[in-house]
A and B are shown apart, each in its own frame.
Chain A
Amino acid sequence: MKDDTNSLKGKKILLVEDDLFFSKIIESKLYHTGCDFVHAKDGETSFILLEKEVPDVIILDILLPGGIDGFGVLEKIKADEKLKHIPVVILSNLGQVSDVEKGMSLGAFRYIVKASIIPDEIIPHLVSAINSTVK
């Protein structure tokens, strides 16, 4: 766990999540890692933040308020030359095979169902995502 924590130090992590409960817990788990945490409560806000700064990894919910859901956000990210290299970890309650297949086919690094993990288990997934981009 210490190694995991060190791997995230200084890394910029964007969470796109409308549920404040989940975002608060994730923020508290990441607090001790020394990462730079940014939160967007919907898809539109995530693109405003992505315009300003490119994160090292994105945690993305699927069911989001507003005009664009998580699949739409992922599709736009992967179509953008400046953003498509960013690993996206989907964290959603949609867990049917068709949802997972859709997320992965759109280019997600990993698809995690919220009810299937405990909060501490997010960190290793983020570390794997960041390590996947290290050449």
Chain B
Amino acid sequence: MKANLDSNLTLVIAHQIKNSLATNKWTIRELLDGSQGALTSPQKDVVTSIYEHNEQIIKLIEKIFRADKEGSSALELHKTSVDITGLIQKIVDETRTEAMKKNLTVHLDRPDSLPSVYVDAEKISYVFENIIDNALRYTTSGGTIRIVIIKDQESVVVEVTDSGLGIPTAEQSKIFTKFFRASNMAEIGREGTGLGLFMSKNIIELHGGKIWFESQEGKGSVFRVSLPLDKMI
């Protein structure tokens, strides 16, 4: 019962914050559009920066809503036949703008054909959005992110490799723990909820799959997700 109350309280607060952020967004947009008078170029740069920061916080709040939803209904999988390469291609396409802004190269290697996977599309999208978003977030300008989809005899494996910060060895055992954020992520000032990988592991294991990683601090990480072939149709 207490967990439910805590969760509801979090959602109420998150909703109030989101409302304020929407107010900020509309106000800042009015300034940028010149509705309150033209801004000078340096003023416009500053206001644009505030706008983008506000957008980042809106995304964080959305993650809290989604994580709560996944947490409260984790046992309910709504499986359908899903084109996993199409699903990942869509996520990659949606990251292009962010990648370009950070001067990152994103490669996707996909097999010519792959049978559909019988999964909960919304939950599996959440997993890959998180992994790819982390790769973008923690890779510095000029880096590379490579996503490879492989089919072997027993499973489909999706591999996301980045040339980012990597995870300190001493902290690697905690990476799938709720609210955990690696110390070097905090140092570079990147925001995170510490919920994405925790939820991703739950979701993948509910599908009978596995998620694991290798990482070297200062060199990068590779996250792998496997979904079993016997769950395919």
Which residues of A line the B interface, CB within 8 A? 19, 21-22, 25, 28, 93-97, 114-115, 118-120
Contacts of A96 in B (CB 8 A): 65, 69
Q: In chain B, residues 188-229, which have Cβ atoms closer than 8 Å to a Cβ of chain A? A: none
Q: How far is the CB of B54 from chain A (nearest CB, A)?
A: 9
For residue B21, CB closer than 8 A to chain A, the reply is: yes
Check B26–A119 contact: CB distance below 8 A. Answer: yes
A to B contact number (C-beta, < 8 Å):
37
Secondary structure dominating the interface of A: helix
Contacts of A93 in B (CB 8 A): 15, 18-19, 22
Check A115–B21 contact: CB distance below 8 A. Answer: yes
Check A118–B25 contact: CB distance below 8 A. Answer: yes
Check A120–B33 contact: CB distance below 8 A. Answer: yes
Contacts of A114 in B (CB 8 A): 19, 22, 26
Check B26–A25 contact: CB distance below 8 A. Answer: yes
Q: How far is the CB of B68 from chain A (nearest CB, A)?
A: 9
Report the interface size for chain B: residues with CB under 8 A from the other chain: 18
For residue B175, CB closer than 8 A to chain A, the reply is: no
Check B15–A115 contact: CB distance below 8 A. Answer: no
Which residues of B line the A interface, CB within 8 A? 15, 18-19, 21-23, 25-27, 29-30, 33, 35, 58, 62, 65, 69, 122
> Can you name 29 A-B pairs with beta carbons within 8 Å?
A19-B19, A19-B23, A21-B23, A21-B26, A22-B23, A22-B26, A25-B30, A28-B35, A93-B15, A93-B18, A93-B19, A93-B22, A94-B15, A95-B62, A95-B65, A96-B69, A97-B69, A97-B122, A114-B22, A115-B18, A115-B21, A115-B22, A115-B25, A118-B25, A118-B29, A119-B26, A119-B29, A120-B29, A120-B33
Contacts of B30 in A (CB 8 A): 25, 119
Q: How far is the CB of B72 from chain A (nearest CB, A)?
A: 11
Check B26–A118 contact: CB distance below 8 A. Answer: yes
Extra A-B contacts (17), CB below 8 Å, given A115-B58, A119-B29, A120-B29: A19-B23, A21-B26, A22-B23, A25-B26, A93-B15, A93-B18, A93-B22, A94-B15, A95-B62, A95-B65, A96-B65, A97-B69, A114-B19, A115-B25, A118-B26, A118-B29, A120-B33
